Amino acid sequence: MLTADEVAKVVSEVTGRIIERMSARAQRAGDLGAGADAPSLAELINETLWWELDRLKKADSDDEEARADKAFYASIRRELPRVSEAEQARLLERVVHRYANEIAGNFNPTFYKVATRVAPPMLSALLTGLSPRRLMGGQAIPSLDKHVIVEGDIANLARLREHGTLVVTPTHSSNLDSLILGFAIYHLGLPPLTYGAGLNLFRNPIIGKSMYNLGAYTVDRRKRDPLYKQTLKEYATVSLEFGQDNLFFPGGTRSRSGGVEDQLKKGLLGCSLAAYRNKLVHRRDRPKCFVVPCTISYPLVLEASTLIEDWLAEAGKSRYIIVDDEFSRWERWLDFLRGLFSLDLKIHLRFGKALDPFGNVVDGEGVSYDPKGRPIDPRGYLEVDGEVVADPVRDAEYTRALEGRIVDEFFRENLVHPTTVLAFACFELLYRNRRPRDLYRFLGSIGPEQSLAMPEVEDELDALLAELAELARADRLRLSPEVAAGDTRELIRAALRSFGTYHSRPVVQRKGVRLHIGDANLMFYYRNRLDGYGLRGAASLVHASNRGGLRG
Amino acid sequence: MAEHTTATTRVSVLGAGNWGTTVAHLIGQNGIPVTLWGRNEESCAEINEQRRNSRYLKGLELSEHITATTELAKAVEEAELLFLVIPSQAFRSVCADLGDLVRPNQLAVHATKGLELGTGRRMTEIIRAETCLRQIGVLSGPNIAREMCAGKPAGTVVASRFPRVIEVSREVLKSHQLRVYGNTDVVGVELGGTLKNIIAIAAGMATQMELGENAKSLLITRGLSEIARLGVALGADPMTFSGLAGIGDLMVTCASPLSRNHRVGAALARGMSLKEAVDSLGMVAEGVKAAKIAEQLTGELGLRAPLMHAVYRVLYDGLTPAEGLRELMTGAVQEDIDPSLTRAAATKKR
């Protein structure tokens, strides 16, 4: 983890780079005269003022930070018309520096050292539903490894670190993800990851206080200013260049639909390529960056209800920031953890194949391979006449390829629990019979009186399990042990137990010889984890298209 | 002029057939040294010693800047830019060999108008699957080799997601007789060049059957509509089909009795079997295979493509061209402009 000194260096490096880039761009535009598309420095500052003042207008006037921001921008606005061009650069520097500082947060390395030692048992306690008081009372701490199963290409991770910097890119279902990953990384004996966490997490009553100390930096999603987003990307890039391993959630936000992410944030992903390129240009040691996709698969998801409601409300145009969800309520955590613990449910964290920033597979020594397994030197992708050069359009294209490969790994390493399988089967039966034109109305029409005959569900499950087994054999999907066992009745029992434990209404419930749908939205949510595979001939409902089939 | 700006670019053309030799000749005529790889030793010797490729381009004196070789490694090693001009059904095996030789910093542009039989893969997909090459593109457009060799004016398209691929290709190809346009829609340009071959077979039949100019125009426009519909379903930008690699290529193929696919169609309409028609040509007619692949793709995607379907049935189901025509003229009539294309044109972003 970076020391406080290094963090300060990162902040000043980030500021310096952005000012340099903006000044150069403004200079070039000035030389070209009218018709150039790059803004002048004054225009840039005005743009920031516009975005920030617009945001602050909506902010709570009692909020201390908002007041400080207002005062800061008021002073910038006062000074702007009076200063020379050189001084405009100074003003812009103040803005960027302020952004960068806020992103870095008040990181304290002393706290951090304590946190790394104490946090995992604390997490363990949290995740197993023990109160800290009992923990202090000398009780044995139940081991988290019983509930979080870490699998996949683990052996390579430690070796890869010797050859470059890691960017771990997980699927994102729950705010628990970063805690679970932090735990896994600690247990694997790897140094901690830094990651950008939404400001709302820092204000979370349960874990907010420990966020900085867990290595997080801040992402304020309310700030829409493009300059802020640039600062954020530069912060991630520079921290990678300093050799700090990063955690990116490439989906950008928790999956609202419950489906595996197939559209990733390319701006953030591109940081791995930018860091590699910058280190090559400056001839630094260990220039390589390795992107490690991973999946976190839950039998039940803490925030499932809020997330799927948001998806249905906005049809994918997510609100992006959800402040008051299950994640900020103690009783929901406890219910969730109690359910997890008492039913002995497992959360699976799977590491996929490590990739270079171009999407090529790398081995444990950090060597990249072409699609047919021949070793290659990826530096060539950035060369013109033997020199490494910057080319944003080219690099965006490489990042698109990386995105595609991460999504492949997401789908391949996605692990399916009985809950998902049962939800998929029930949904499929209802959906297929009715062939609805409107998904929303269809979901709204399914009440608790809606039921399916047990034999019908069993037949559907038999067929579904056969297809799942085939996908798993083809290395295109992972099955939990309960699903892999292939015992339909046992699977139904396991799924019903889980569905009955945490959610306020059982998602699916057995009454006599029929299964009743208690919560159609949640059935849809859990079903979506299998969307996009073309299972049972189903069309894709939450992804752009099916990834299975002939052309997948 | 061209010599000055591209003095350092080392170019190789892989494939010494009709079009490959022409591409090498066009580059050579700009004063740029170009290596031409072919499998046939005699052809290569003939090119090097007599400046001729008598099998494909009778009577043409080739540029002296061409060096022909049968050694793939030699052609690939030094090249910064590779042109791949290999028949679609041999494309993968050449790429598999190429995989051992190429490096990430090399650029590659293919000029093969076809899809892989069985998989329906586009040529750029095959390059990606078999090699480490990433900075790749496609050359396509209304380019009849004979006319180009005769020095007549023409335009062509290089499509790539990588601006540098377009720039470097343009530098070596452009001349007072050839305008080189850029496009970022690789999928559309590849499909335009491939699918028009099917329509060209139909045009050959129509010409032979003396159906007249109205019918030809009907064929071209409805054919373009089918191409665009299938293209959009496979991820192409609909606007690409109104460009050189779309309507441009389709027009020339349908108008010119010189084009191979046209000649296959005409031979079929004269009553030859498919095998006789292909044999009489002595070269690959890509449309014959493309028809099979398009039949499969439209079936899978549930798309309407009556014209392509009729060509397929004439080629493979023993339907006579006259029967095919009758079916087409009595089939259901839809909108002139397909609503799916209007929608796609409005929403297409990248």
HEC readout, A84-146: CHHHHHHHHHHHHHHHHHHHHCCCCHHHHHHHHHHHHHHHHHHHCCCCHHHHHCCCCCCCHHH
Is A251 a domain residue?
yes
Residues of B taking part in catalysis: 196
Is the pLDDT score of B337 beyond 80?
Answer: no
Is residue A424 within 8 Å of A464, Cβ to Cβ? yes
pLDDT tens-digit map of A422-457? 999 999 999 988 888 888 889 988 887 889 999 999
Establish if A548 touches chain B: CB-CB under 8 angstroms.
no
Q: What is the pLDDT of residue A240?
A: 94
pLDDT in the model for residue A327: 77
Lowest mean pLDDT among A227-231, A328-332, B105-109, B217-221: A328-332
Q: How confident is the model at residue B225 (pLDDT cuts 50, 70, 90)?
A: very high
Best of A377, A391, A397 to disrupt the B interface by mutation (most B CBs within 10 Å)? A397
Alpha-carbon distances, residue B221 vs B83, B250, B310, B337 (angstroms): 31, 9, 16, 10
pLDDT at A132: 44
Judgement on whether residues A258 and A314 belong to the same structural domain of the protein: yes
Q: Would the CB atoms of A377 and B162 count as touching at under 8 Å?
A: no
- CA A308 – CA A193 distance, rounded (Å): 29
Say yes or no: A347 and A484 in one domain: no
Task: Report CB contact under 8 Å: A371, B128.
Answer: yes
Contact B120 A376 (CB under 8 A): no
Q: Is A351 helix (H, G, I), strand (E, B) or coil?
A: strand
Q: Is residue A241 part of a domain?
A: yes
Q: Which CATH number fits domain B187-345: 3.30.70.2860, 3.30.1490.20, 1.10.1040.10, 1.10.275.10?
A: 1.10.1040.10
A40, burial (CB in 10 Å: exposed 0-12, middle 13-18, buried 19+): middle
What pLDDT score was predicted for residue A109?
Answer: 54
Distance from CA of A474 to the nearest CA of B (A): 18
Size of interface A-B (CB pairs under 8 A): 56
- The verdict on A320 and A344 lying in the same domain is yes
* Residues of chain A neighbouring B106 (CB-CB closer than 8 A): 380
B105, B168, B230: best mutation site toward chain A, by most A Cβ within 10 Å? B105
Question: Nearest-CA neighbor of A398 among B184, B134, B110?
Answer: B134
The pLDDT value given to residue A470: 96
Q: Do the annotations mark residue B42 as ligand-binding?
A: no
Strands A216-219 and A148-152 come out as unpaired
> Quick check: A43 contacting B, CB < 8 Å?
no
Q: b or e along A167-205 (b: 16 or more beta carbons within 10 Å of the residue's beta carbon)?
A: bbbbbbbbbbbbbbbbbbbbeeebebbbbbbbbbbbebe
Length of chain B: 350
User: Which residues in chain A show pLDDT less than 70?
Assistant: 33-36, 106-145, 206-214, 315-324, 546-552
- Smallest Cβ–Cβ distance between B162 and the set A383, A397, A550 belongs to A397
Residue A516 counted as domain residue: yes
Same domain, A401 and A430: no
Do B120 and A550 lie within an 8 Å CB cutoff?
yes
pLDDT at site B40: 94
State percent of chain B over pLDDT 90. Answer: 73
Single residue among A104, A130, A153 that ends a domain in this structure:
A104
- Are A173 and A257 found together in one domain? yes
Residue A332 belongs to domain with CATH number: 3.40.1130
What total number of domains does chain A contain? 3
Minimum distance, in Å, between the CA of residue B21 and any CA atom of chain A: 27
Residue A120: the pLDDT is: 55
For residue range B253-283, what is the model confidence (pLDDT) as tens digits? 888 887 789 999 999 999 998 888 888 887 7
Predicted local distance difference test score (pLDDT) of residue A214 = 63
Domain positions in chain B? 9-184, 187-345
Give the pLDDT confidence score for residue A212 in this predicted structure.
Answer: 61
Q: Which of A215-219, B29-33, B143-147 has the highest mean pLDDT?
A: B29-33
| B155-207 per-position pLDDT tens digit | 999 999 999 999 999 999 999 999 999 999 999 999 999 999 999 999 999 99
Q: How confident is the model at residue B43 (pLDDT cuts 50, 70, 90)?
A: very high
- Of the residues A387, A413, A439, the one at which a domain ends: A413
- CB-CB under 8 Å, B104 with A381: yes
Judge whether A518 lies within some domain. yes
Judgement on whether residues A312 and A402 belong to the same structural domain of the protein: yes
Residues 163-192 of B with CB under 8 A from A: 163-164
Look at residue B28 in the predicted model and tell me its pLDDT: 96
Q: Residue A441 is part of a domain; what is its CATH number?
A: 1.10.10
The answer as to whether A548 is a domain residue is no
- From residue B19, give the alpha-carbon distance in Å to each of B72, B154, B183, B243: 18, 14, 21, 21
Q: Which fold has domain B9-184?
A: Rossmann fold (3.40.50)
Interface check A54 vs B, CB under 8 A? no
What is the radius of gyration, based on Cα positions, of chain A?
25
Domain presence at residue A111: no
Decide if A393 and B163 are in contact by the 8 Å CB cutoff. yes
DSSP A19-65: HHHHHHHHHHHHHH-TT--SPPHHHHHHHHHHHHHHHHHHS-TT-HH
Any chain B CB within 8 A of the CB of A145? no
For an interface test with A, the pick among B76, B77, B132 (most A C-beta atoms closer than 10 Å) comes out as B132
Residue A333 and residue A428 in one domain: no
ipTM of the complex: 0.89
**pLDDT the model gives residue B4:** 43
**CA of B81 to nearest chain A CA: how many angstroms apart?**
12
**Residue A75 and residue A220 in one domain:** no
Residues A526 and A447 in one domain: yes
How many Å apart are CA A180 and CA A297, to the nearest integer? 11
Task: Please report which confidence band the pLDDT of residue B235 belongs to, taking 50, 70 and 90 as the band edges.
Answer: very high
Per-residue pLDDT at A198 = 76
A549 lies in some domain: no
CB contact under 8 A, B130 and A358: no
Same-domain status, A420 and A402: no
Last residue of a domain, one of A413, A436, A456: A413
* Residue-number span of the structural domain to which A85 is assigned: 4-104
Residue A134 lies in a domain: no
Determine, for residues A376 and B129 on separate chains, whether the beta-carbon distance falls below 8 Å: no
